[in-house]
Structure 1
């Protein structure tokens, strides 16, 4: 069946030049497979080469790869015409024009006349008016060419496949008739005679392309392209997040510097200015680097999207030959892309800004020449590159080692804990305190008394945590200085569990209510009623979250749509929910004294007896970022255990 006009519209981006943003005029493509109008790429070549004084070639306007022209062409104006024509795009433009009833007679257009086309030759791939159709039939060698009625093609009653006849890239005046299996190369008669005469496996293009659209090769390529679009999107999201984190950390550093400045009068102005200049310069340096990375991966993603759209269009609308040829073009590019991404990922670093205050502050005016130092803290982002010891850990079957048992509440009580900057923070309900331990849980570093009993704790930013209190609402704490920064009273809103969606939006849970609240204003943004037992909630992204919805089940929700409900005969009174580095979910089953490990699709992986992690009644479960370490807390003994998966 012919493709209806409305189906043609969805791949209009394939027919649009990224330079002029209009439908292609004489589409020419580069070795990187990006296509442009011949006039557009010609203007770009001339301007870019003259501006940059480059003689060996030019860079693609999209992906910035160098297109070498060798020593064959001396005049810049001859570079663009020498580029290969994108015959598939040309065919799609013809099909688009036919289905929009805009196709003019190709023969008449050569004579600068505009006559509406009436028929289409499937061999010549040209449209003819009534008069030119007669001339076409009068030639003996053309008389047997199959002609289709354009009006029937527009109605869909006559099939129309794009690219039945393909021009040879080496010899544009000849058509592809053969395919060399030894070199995976389409050939015209000249290619077969000159370049492939010694090859043993040369067959017809029709035979080689037969069934290619339904082949595993085509479907695997389409799937690989889809996966790369997703992966590149994740990399770009991570770079954007890193940029936001740097922005937030620099702002927090400014705030800390301003706090340190209090009481220092004469000497402070000059050194503050010096630090801010250094901080701003460092931030700009990071932003430039991150932007470069974003630009590179964005260009990769755009390229892969184009390839994906192209291969899908060929699968839907192209001929078998065209499909084979497009696969041959794209597959090598995927291999090159894989290597380039792998090489780039080896150098990707997670960037943050670290401020180290000078000391002694008491003798600042007499001794100090600077507030501290600003440096760029770079670490490989293992969540993107995958090159890390943690990848060797099998979270589904691996053993769980107890590294440290921490008696947070001194014998009895309820506690909740989190990781933050290689430190551990816990709440102590009865004592109305938050306490901070070192990374191995062996040393109590500091503590802070709160105005109300704390229940849960969550990370807000680099130096801030939030503590929920049914009596007081939300307490914002500087985790570095261990001081109370703000108390957010929430009258009428039930508060117990807490998690942050982003730095300004958090979810608090209690019994049968989930409430989304804006941190700065305290305004209630959204609310969701549950079936009860919703004491803790886990935010997995901007739209995904998970919570207990009864005494025997938890729900995973995306937006307003329930993705799955998890339940199990040995699953009673679900409490804290955690997520590991690989995306596995862990739910504390309080009454059955087990931790249920499930996939992000709601499938049970295993039930972990709490005795394995050294507690009695599981309460909260939290994992360190990009780590195999977990901290689990107990609601009865007041203990917390630091564990690792091995």
Structure 2
């Protein structure tokens, strides 16, 4: 509440009462500065009757002039914002009031007058009565009447009661005479004294009352505390500055995010426009080539028909029954046959032998994050941006659910035509050099046909292009990979047996992230669902589990144990997900494949031990085609088999010696690893 001075009538009434009575009507706002909340120093009273310390008001004026118009002739009151004329000669001698001296005198008396102590019993009866005594047993203050009642009560007969004036010293007991209270202080020995000590041991010393000694020392400490006020103010200002910088940086981050999104969205729009131009040009070229090919086919068909007709007619004339006819037409027939024989052979026009191919370019530069100094102009500009973007909603990561919500993704079935497998290429040279292979347990295929295999014994990933040429070696001797899969960002996630964890590498081999070491016992298979969750199998003895993780490694679900039950596993080495995010696990030593929903709840299983159709022996790798048909590497039956999405046997795709990992692309390329080899087959063609 703003401090208001009493009017003249009130002042005249107050003049007739004691100083203490006048002080009792003063509020903190009337004796303390409204800016620093400390007792006034060189007080200044504005026309609106709000009072401030002179230094505080000067500082406020400087801050106002620096942030506003230097030519302004007025300034607003810090409390009520009323306009006040700006003094031309500074604050010295300005904004004085005759009643300031009276207030200062009252404040001085407050500092020296003892604080009034109220009766605790009367307080609850809503009576404002001063206390006289204090019971050290009850720890309550009593007025004279309540003290009498206290003594009359049988329960309090043995309580110790002292005057409230001695309350400050009541808790101080003499260290020598423990039953006596400390009442004096020896300045010679610098020690507190009880009465016995003062009489017996400190005769002739410089002794004084304890409250006198405490008062002088309190004054010294209060003076020093007062000198700290300026430093406290500086720290408070610095804290406010830190808060301002934090808010500016928050606003700058929001703005930068918006700029990144706008820029990237613009690039995406340009890419889509460029894509459409390329597709339109390709379509025009294709239509023109198709038209030219049609004309060539029609011309060739016509000439071929004429040649066949003449050929048959000439052959007929060579028969004995047509001898006379041959003699008659010999000249004309010879000319016609010679014209055909001398005509040039058909040749494909050069323009029709051309193909339109797309050559991609890599490493498109989108932009970068740069740091800049927070200048005053920049801070003002960013502050305005923060005000404009105040309505921009950004959720705190702490407020988000730790489990991404599963959303089933429906995909139109793709029409595909399975064919007899055609071997595209095979790598079977055992070794550790580039192009050689050893202990290839798992494999994955990128959309452009690049094949990446996890070589456990060579401790690396090896990348092959669509022709079987070794393009790159990744993570050499830094990982011992068993499983490998592609992330949604195009990176490579591997289960690393060396550190018993999961690591993520970029296509160039740079490590992006690595989970905590020893997260798993024996990590094996790995896959990623449509929400970006990682699914990993663990075949540690006695464990045999499947777990679901966030990209940072936090485990949100784990299921399974060692055994042969529906929700148990025995060596679950490989795992994959279909387009509905169902989790498929090849349960090796249980000789089956088990299917779970996206949350890990058991659905069904298929397969049993044997070598017949629909049976398996120690299945290994598993993947799904574009229609969610399931492909299983049936290791000990030396084959790769195709099952329907509900687990019905469809056909055997390959007869191959002890297959391990399998991966298939939407274009019909099937990659298969054997421990000493890697093969790529063409197994189906998509039908548009």
TM surpasses 0.5: no
Could you tell me the TM-score, scaled by structure 1's length? 0.39
Which protein has the larger Cα radius of gyration, Structure 1 or Structure 2? 2
Could you tell me the TM-score, scaled by structure 2's length? 0.36
Structure with larger RCO (C-alpha < 8 A, sep 6+)? 1
Larger relative strand fraction: 1
